[in-house]
Amino acid sequence: MDAKNRPLQDGDTCKVVAGTHKGKSGWVRDSNISKTGHLTITVEQESGIKFKTLGKNVEVIASSK
């Protein structure tokens, strides 16, 4: 299975491909399932700034493993 088709894991390098944060990239730092059942993740950019986005808006660039 390649990086694009596997679940997000903490430490993965990712790029946001849709939504408010489109074009930003960083590392997955936290993932949760919201009350409504959607995957939400926290992405930390190289500058240290963190933001939350939906998992469906993110593409894995490189695996942490």
| Strands 13-16 vs 50-54: parallel, antiparallel or unpaired | unpaired
For residue 12, what is the domain's CATH number?
A: 2.30.30.30
CA atoms of 19 and 16, how far apart (whole Å)? 8
- Total domains in the chain come to 1
* Helix (H/G/I), strand (E/B), else coil: 46: coil
State the pTM of this model.
Answer: 0.83
Expressed as residue numbers, the domain containing 58 is 3-62
Partners of 57 in beta bridges = none
Q: Are 13 and 23 in contact (CB under 8 A)?
A: no
> pLDDT of 16-61, one tens digit each?
999 999 999 999 999 999 999 999 999 999 999 999 999 999 999 9
Q: What is the band of 3 on the pLDDT scale with cuts at 50, 70, 90?
A: very low
